[in-house]
Amino acid sequence: MPASPTPKSSTLKALAAISALTALLGACQNRAPATTGSLYPTDYRARHPIALTDAGRSLDVFVTGTGHIDPRQAADIDAFFVDFRRYGRGTLVLDMPRGVAPAMGAAVERTGAAIRRMSAEGGLAPGQLVVTSYAVATPTLVAPLRLSFQRMEAKVAGQCGLWPQDLGVGDAAFNGRNEAHWNFGCSTQSNIAAQVADPIDLVRGRPEGRIDTVRRTKNIEKLRTGNDPSIPWRQDGKADVKSQVSQ
C-alpha cells in the first residue's frame, strides 16, 4: 500500500499551489510603470516644449547715397511687407532716427518718404504704417530707419544651455539611472521652431487643397489606355531619367 502523505509534504504542496496561483494573478494585473526617480521628465519634448508666443520682427534700412533705396534694400523691404501682410498683428511701425548729423537729415527724410511710398505700392492701407522717431545716442554713427511689427512665433518655452545635473562622477545617482541630461534636445527643438514658417502648423495640420480636375482626368484616361500617367523627367536634354533608372 502506498504510504500516506505526511503533514509536512501536504503543507509544502499547498504553499506551492498558492505561489503558482499568485504568480498567475499577478501576470494579469495592470500595474503602473515603475518610476526612475528622475527630477525632471525624461522625454526631451516634455523638458523643452515648443510654445507659441508673440514676438517682434524688425528690419533696419540704412541710408545710402542721398537718400534713395538701393535694389538690395528694396528687395528686403518688399519681403518684409509680404511677411507683415501674411503674419503681422496690429500696425507696421517705421522708426525714424532723430538727432543725426545735419548732413544726414535730408537723406533720412527722403529714405523715409521712399519707404512710405513703397508701402502704399505694396498694398498697405494708409493707417497700417505708423511713423515714430527714436533718439540717436551718437550722431556720428550710422543710424538706420527701423521697420517693425508684432507676429506669432514658435519658440522653446525654456532656456537652452542649462546643466542642473553633473555629467561626471560627481552625481552617482544620476549616472546610475542612465538618463539623458537636461539640455539634451533643446537645440533641436529650437531649430525646429525657427524653421517653421507658420507656427500654427505645429498645432494642427492644414486642410487638403483643391483637386486638379483636369490633371486627374488626363491621368485616368492614360490608365485606361495602358499608358504611364507619371510625368517624364529629363535632364540636360538627355533621355528620360526614369526609364534609365528602371533599366
| Mean pLDDT in consecutive groups of 10 residues from the start of the chain, 247 residues | 56 61 51 52 90 93 88 94 91 93 87 94 89 90 92 91 76 75 92 91 88 91 90 67 53
User: Cell numbers 553633473 correspond to what residue?
Assistant: 166
* C-alpha cell belonging to residue 46: 516634455
Q: Which amino acid is at 17?
A: A
pLDDT of residue 135: 93
pLDDT of residue 12: 59
Largest CA distance in the chain: 127
Asked whether residue 110 is assigned to any structural domain, the reply reads yes
Single out the residue of 76, 74, 93, 80 nearest to residue 134, CA to CA. 93
Confirm whether pTM is higher than 0.75: no
Asked whether residue 31 is assigned to any structural domain, the reply reads no
Provide the β-strand partners of residue 213. none
Strands (E) located in 100-206: 129-135, 145-156
Asked whether residue 246 is assigned to any structural domain, the reply reads no
Asked whether residue 95 is assigned to any structural domain, the reply reads yes
Asked whether residue 244 is assigned to any structural domain, the reply reads no
Assign residue 183 the CATH number of its domain. 3.30.1330.60
Q: What is the 8-class DSSP label of residue 123?
A: T
Asked whether residue 169 is assigned to any structural domain, the reply reads yes
Strands (E) located in the chain: 50-61, 88-98, 129-135, 145-156
Quote the CA–CA distance of 181 and 157 in Å, as a whole number: 17
pLDDT of residue 31: 46
Asked whether residue 85 is assigned to any structural domain, the reply reads yes
pLDDT of residue 167: 73
pLDDT of residue 144: 92
Domain total of the chain: 1
Q: How many CB atoms lie within 10 A of CB 73?
A: 21
Q: Report whether 61 contacts 143 (CB < 8 A).
A: no
pLDDT of residue 156: 94
Quote the CA–CA distance of 144 and 113 in Å, as a whole number: 14
Q: Report whether 216 contacts 66 (CB < 8 A).
A: no
Cα angle value 42/154/145 (rounded, 5°): 145
* C-alpha cell belonging to residue 21: 496561483
Quote the CA–CA distance of 234 and 111 in Å, as a whole number: 48
pLDDT of residue 94: 96
* Chain Cα centroid distance, residue 15: 61
The torsion angles phi and psi of 90, rounded to 5 degrees, stand at 75, -130
pLDDT of residue 32: 41
Crossing angle of the two packed helices 102-121 and 71-87, in degrees rounded to 10: 50
Q: Report whether 144 contacts 60 (CB < 8 A).
A: yes
User: Which residues form the domain of 108?
Assistant: 39-232
Asked whether residue 21 is assigned to any structural domain, the reply reads no
Quote the CA–CA distance of 185 and 160 in Å, as a whole number: 9
Q: Report whether 143 contacts 97 (CB < 8 A).
A: yes
